């Protein structure tokens, strides 16, 4: 059943139209960053994990008028199980810079886990703040008398509350989830009633499967659909891992790029992992730099089994 579900999701994705215009940042290593996609992922792996990602989109891109301007994204996250409550906690801060616009979000998530068959079903919610900042000094108005830009200088920002929710299922071989973020659909107008910049709701559908090709090699195909209810796109990937230490794979982002993925686990218990993604742009290259780069660093705390207290009887006080 799990294999059929994954294949069905892949076929549905092939029927979606080409579009890459969502407001959330994108990550080529999305299969290792499920907490950003879905709050229900919080603690679902039963491991405490710290993670940092930095993405340089269109590395080396130069603006027409001013230097710089290439989008870049940074994110740090943390998630851990709360075993006694069958639940999990997560937190992340992400900053996405796109020329004169900078979006920063800080989100706290909580998920409750249910045993379902041989797997685990998780229901999660998240809440936090979404900040949008504009640097008016970086805008070049076609009309110098534009009332939206006249006498506006420097950097201005606005903060709005943000909410999201999701469901996530995982088992030994399969995982999948659906989430909807930015439920509040916050609007940013920077003091101008005629200026509206709404933050659209985003829906994510993700799935993956682990296939033991040999005793030491595991293949992990994955798919991600994302939409802001105006535009939709999908990503497909396959990553092979050797001896739980080294990984390599390919990913395809609809209408945008092909990415090469590589990773390596360090330390004796594989608790530290380095990941890298190299994107090669395949569409609209005239308006972009041809490559993007993404670095991932993950540290997982060593697993400690729960301590089971044993009853020690003293013969001196026994009556039997």
pLDDT grade, residue 154 (50/70/90)? Answer: confident
Question: What is the C-alpha to C-alpha distance for residues 112 and 92, in angstroms, rounded to an integer?
Answer: 18
If one compares 308 and 8, the residue with the highest pLDDT of the two is: 308
If one compares 255 and 74, the residue with the highest pLDDT of the two is: 74
Lowest model confidence (mean pLDDT) among 62-66, 253-257, 267-271, 298-302: 62-66
Q: Which domain holds residue 236?
A: 2-128+162-305
- Residue 310 is assigned to a structural domain of this protein: no
Q: Is the per-residue pLDDT at 256 higher than 70?
A: yes
∠30-263-172 over CA atoms, to 5°? Answer: 65
Q: Is the per-residue pLDDT at 26 higher than 80?
A: yes
- Residue 166 is assigned to a structural domain of this protein: yes
Lowest model confidence (mean pLDDT) among 22-26, 174-178, 220-224: 22-26
The pLDDT > 90 percentage for the chain reads 60
Lowest model confidence (mean pLDDT) among 59-68, 127-136, 165-174, 201-210: 59-68
Please check whether residue 58 is in contact with residue 74, taking contact to mean a CB–CB distance below 8 angstroms.
no
What is the pLDDT at residue 62? 66
- Residue 150 is assigned to a structural domain of this protein: no
CATH number at residue 75: 2.40.160.40
- Residue 317 is assigned to a structural domain of this protein: no
Could you please report the per-residue DSSP string of 133-165? Answer: EEEGGG---SSTT-TTTTT--SEEEEEEEEEEE
- Residue 320 is assigned to a structural domain of this protein: no
Bridge-partner residues for 90, per DSSP? 79, 109
Quote the DSSP letter at residue 250. E
At 315, phi and psi to the nearest 5? -55, -30
pLDDT grade, residue 145 (50/70/90)? Answer: confident
Q: How many domains does the chain have?
A: 1
Instruction: Give the per-residue SS3 of 196-236.
Output: CEECCCEEEEEEEECEECCCCEEEEEEEEEEECCCCEEEEE
- Residue 268 is assigned to a structural domain of this protein: yes
What is the pLDDT at residue 44? 96
At 138, phi and psi to the nearest 5? -90, -5
- Residue 135 is assigned to a structural domain of this protein: no
- Residue 214 is assigned to a structural domain of this protein: yes
């Amino acid at each position: 059943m799990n294999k059929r579900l994954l294949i069905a999701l892949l076929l549905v994705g092939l029927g979606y139209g080409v579009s890459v215009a969502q407001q959330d940042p994108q990550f080529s290593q999305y299969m290792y960053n499920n907490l950003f996609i879905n709050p229900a992922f919080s603690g679902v792996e039963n491991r405490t994990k710290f993670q940092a990602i930095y993405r340089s989109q269109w590395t080396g891109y130069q603006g027409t008028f001013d230097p710089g301007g290439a989008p870049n994204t940074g994110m740090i996250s943390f998630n851990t199980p709360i075993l006694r409550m069958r639940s999990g906690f997560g937190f992340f801060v992400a900053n996405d810079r796109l020329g004169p616009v900078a979006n920063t979000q800080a989100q706290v998530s909580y998920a409750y886990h249910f045993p379902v068959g041989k797997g685990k079903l998780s229901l999660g919610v998240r809440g936090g703040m979404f900040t949008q900042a504009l640097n008016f000094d970086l805008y070049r108005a076609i009309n110098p008398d534009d009332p939206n830009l006249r006498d506006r200088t420097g950097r201005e920002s606005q903060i709005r509350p943000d909410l999201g929710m999701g469901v996530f299922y995982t088992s030994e071989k399969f995982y999948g989830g659906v989430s909807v973020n930015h439920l509040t659909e916050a609007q940013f107008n920077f003091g101008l009633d005629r200026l509206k910049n709404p933050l659209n709701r985003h829906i994510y559908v993700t799935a993956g499967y682990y296939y033991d090709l040999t005793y030491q090699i595991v293949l992990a195909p994955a798919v991600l659909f994302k939409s802001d209810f105006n535009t939709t796109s999908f990503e497909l990937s396959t990553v092979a891992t050797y001896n739980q230490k080294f990984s390599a794979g390919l990913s395809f982002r609809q209408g945008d790029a092909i990415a090469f993925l590589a990773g390596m686990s360090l330390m004796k218990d594989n608790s530290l992992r380095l990941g890298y993604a190299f994107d090669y742009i395949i569409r609209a290259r005239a308006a972009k730099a041809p490559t993007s780069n993404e670095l991932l660093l993950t540290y997982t705390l060593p697993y400690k089994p729960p301590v089971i207290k044993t009853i020690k009887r003293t013969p001196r006080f026994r009556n039997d």
